Structure 1
Amino acid sequence: MKNKKQLCSFFALVALVCVSGRAIAQGCVAAHSNQRPIDQLVRSDEGGSGSMWSIHNLTVDIGYRVFNSNKYFQGTNEIARPTAVENHQNIFDIGVQYRVSPRWSFIADVPVYNGTRNQIYPPSGIYQVSGLGDITLGAQAWIFRPPTENGGNIAVSASLKLPTGIDNATGSALYQGKIIKATADPSMQPGDGGWGFVLGSQAYKSLWRRSDVYIEGQYLFNPEDTNGVRSFRSQPGQGILSVTDQYLFRAGLSQGVPKVRGLALGLGMRSEGVPVRDLLGDSNGFRRPGSIISLDPGLMYNFRTTVLSINGPWALYRNRPPSVPEIQHHTTNGDAFFADYTVIVSLSHHF
């Protein structure tokens, strides 16, 4: 157990965007979330399954995600527009994991958000929002005591989401011929204004020399209906912002690069989104339900007690289905702007 070598060369995500990470926002992307890499499982040796579990108790992850949503969708149809909304977002995440035993850890994530949106429809204007997001606090447990003899394991986690983020950020906009302070789009809000909880799981299994299959997922439950923030929308039932669920799932294969110690390349699929209806509670108010399925390539590099991972999910499928108010009032299916790709970078250090 005091061997400082680490298990498996492994490339992995986030989130269940939340599990172990956080998911708070909605709108022009299906989810805002930074992912917690499974960097305890990175194999830095050449021997395959002989690595020992890391003895480091404290791990700090610094995550960064950037994307530019400018592709206009109604349903699954992309519609060309001469003047598209430009929605540029930067999401930072500071994650902390403290291991109290080989199986059990306390986890916490502190997100920080920065974004701009050039909105062409009323209230039109350029919105700029920065601030702390919704903090999550929880615990994670491995089903089997690591290290396992079969080269695989399953972890489960649960976190409480605190409404620490700003949910009523505004910008200067033109509305009915006047310059007003209007509520920024839900996709721009650092927080959602509601208490929630996140359940997640991640699993891995060694297949052959320096090769691993992985799967992980997380779901953010937001039982509250709306948060009382005015949306400035005139459509029936959409005058107040909704507090939405979020989800993220990933699966793929990681392969160590021959003759390069500590380097692995990964390729998988990623699905994330905001559902039309929450699993718990009502789903009224203004939301943009949406889903994205992406090809998820990446790499991970382990150098002693530091792990760098880079992902570049590329969208293959995007869908903006009608929300509950749109279904109830038989109004036109709303729209959403999606990104073609996302860049996700994470740096983890074991102390």
Structure 2
Amino acid sequence: MKTSFSSRCVVAVGCVLFSGSFVSTVYAQGCLAAHTSSTIQSCITSGGVNEGAGDGMSFLHKHPLTMEVDWRSFSSFRHFSGEKENFARAAAGLDIENHQNIYSISLDMQVTPRWSVNAFVPVLQGTRDQKYAPVGKFDIAGIGDMIVGVQGWVLKPPAENGGNIAFSLGLKLPTGLNNGMGTAKLANGMVQKVVADQSLQPGDGTWGFTVGAQAYKQTYFHTVGYFQGSWLFNPEDTNGVPTFRASKLEAVMSATDQYLFRAGLSRHVPRVHGLAASFGGRMEGIPVRDAFGKSDGFRRPGYIISIEPAVQYQHHHDMISLTAPWAIQRNRRASVTDLASGTHGDAAFADYAIILSASHTF
């Protein structure tokens, strides 16, 4: 099926925006420790969205490998318990500031027009200004938990009806640094190395698996509607890494599930060849209880709902995109240990994140 470049570019934006492999990145913007990520298969390797390709499948047979590099940056400083912001922390000088740069490299190999295999490697560098015991400034960097996966489209691309649905499955490997340490001052005045906060750990170091889906549909006025969803399942209860927390119930870190849902509309920019824009909504977070296994140990469950504008430019084999999710609702939910002890902890959230992605099809 022949398609215009503008239509193909719209499909690409609707399906990918800033990802290049198998279930979209799940990084809660703040102290919600959602750094183990999954990725989502891009339409660029399955729908024939490359400039000058003619029939997309013909292009894929000649260029089946796509590599993408992503960078995400945000600073979290607003503390919430439930949906209520905790202004007392800032007034008392106890607000925690987290800044994180998250990098990822993904590879996608198109095996057939419908099936692809992929791999995802995340890297995190983060700093945390801890103003209560253990007091200190932590700087942690390391590789997160890698994911390898497969995705299949329900219809053979390019779909004649202007829409398609894909499902994906991945295996999360325990490759991530989960016990990074920093120098801190304890409550008794001693200075020593302690395990950094859970939000700074690049991975959780446990086995898991991801399930994802994405869909797109050509609508009116050359606009494409898109949906994307993914869930990372971590069946293990805890990862055995100690925390600095006083409560015995929170003495070790929990191995948490993570989720992401996105939906919106995208369209090419008239008279600007290769440029497209999109606008949608996004929800990401950590559940109170995992779908499988227990949910003991320390975790900060909650979610962020954001509006998500994005722009994307494609030229021949290369694509670059800029996405800026802006939070409109933040909720730090009570964890299993909170409910057991009758408390409700808080978490720091960011106002927005900047996500920059670049990909090349070989």
Same fold (TM over 0.5): yes
Q: Which has the higher helix share?
A: 2
Q: Identify the residue that residue 319 of structure 2 maps to in structure 1.
A: 307
Taking the aligned partners of 2:301 and 2:130, their CA distance within structure 1 comes to 19
Match of 1:285, SS?
A: coil
- Assess if the C-alpha contact under 8 Å between 2:106 and 2:121 holds in 1: yes
Taking the aligned partners of 1:309 and 1:38, their CA distance within structure 2 comes to 14
1:84-163 equivalence runs, <5 A: 84-163=95-174
Match of 1:39 among 44, 47, 54: 44
- Assess if the C-alpha contact under 8 Å between 1:29 and 1:187 holds in 2: yes
Give 1:38 deviation, angstroms: 3.9
Distance 1:114 1:34, change over 3 A: farther
Taking the aligned partners of 2:38 and 2:285, their CA distance within structure 1 comes to 14
Distance 1:135 1:181, change over 3 A: same
Taking the aligned partners of 1:238 and 1:190, their CA distance within structure 2 comes to 19
Identity %: 47
Match of 1:7, SS?
A: helix
Spell out structure 1 runs of 4+ moving beyond 6 A.
1-6, 14-18, 24-27
Cα shift readout 1:111-170 (whole Å, capped 9, x = no counterpart): 111010001111110000001110000101111001111111111111100010111111
- Assess if the C-alpha contact under 8 Å between 2:43 and 2:49 holds in 1: no
Match of 1:205 among 201, 212, 217: 217
Match of 2:122, SS?
A: strand
* Count of residues in correspondence between the two structures: 347
Match of 1:327, SS?
A: helix
Matching residue's letter, 2:56 = M
Match of 1:168, SS?
A: coil
Taking the aligned partners of 1:164 and 1:15, their CA distance within structure 2 comes to 24
- Assess if the C-alpha contact under 8 Å between 1:133 and 1:166 holds in 2: yes
Please say if 1:52 is aligned against 2:56.
yes
**TM-score for the superposition, normalised by structure 2:** 0.89
Query: Gapped runs of 5+ residues in structure 1?
Result: none
- Assess if the C-alpha contact under 8 Å between 2:212 and 2:230 holds in 1: yes
Matching residue's letter, 2:124 = Y
Distance 1:226 1:195, change over 3 A: same
**TM-score for the superposition, normalised by structure 1:** 0.92
RMSD over equivalenced CA pairs, Å: 2.6
Please say if 1:67 is aligned against 2:79.
no
Q: Identify the residue that residue 298 of structure 1 maps to in structure 2.
A: 310
Distance 1:15 1:233, change over 3 A: farther
Distance 1:305 1:3, change over 3 A: farther
- Assess if the C-alpha contact under 8 Å between 2:17 and 2:321 holds in 1: no
Taking the aligned partners of 2:334 and 2:286, their CA distance within structure 1 comes to 12
Matching residue's letter, 1:102 = P
Matching residue's letter, 2:77 = N
Please say if 1:20 is aligned against 2:23.
yes
Please say if 1:79 is aligned against 2:86.
yes
- Assess if the C-alpha contact under 8 Å between 2:49 and 2:56 holds in 1: no
Taking the aligned partners of 1:279 and 1:15, their CA distance within structure 2 comes to 27
- Assess if the C-alpha contact under 8 Å between 2:235 and 2:290 holds in 1: yes
Give 1:297 deviation, angstroms: 0.4
Q: Identify the residue that residue 274 of structure 2 maps to in structure 1.
A: 262
Distance 1:25 1:301, change over 3 A: closer
Q: Identify the residue that residue 252 of structure 2 maps to in structure 1.
A: 240
Taking the aligned partners of 1:277 and 1:14, their CA distance within structure 2 comes to 30
Give 1:78 deviation, angstroms: 0.7
Match of 2:205, SS?
A: coil
Matching residue's letter, 1:39 = I
Distance 1:130 1:45, change over 3 A: closer
- Assess if the C-alpha contact under 8 Å between 1:140 and 1:157 holds in 2: yes
Q: Identify the residue that residue 283 of structure 1 maps to in structure 2.
A: 295
Taking the aligned partners of 2:197 and 2:184, their CA distance within structure 1 comes to 12
Mean Cα deviation higher: 308-317 or 78-87: 78-87
Q: Identify the residue that residue 253 of structure 1 maps to in structure 2.
A: 265
Taking the aligned partners of 1:271 and 1:344, their CA distance within structure 2 comes to 15
Match of 2:345 among 330, 334, 340: 334
Give 1:20 deviation, angstroms: 3.2
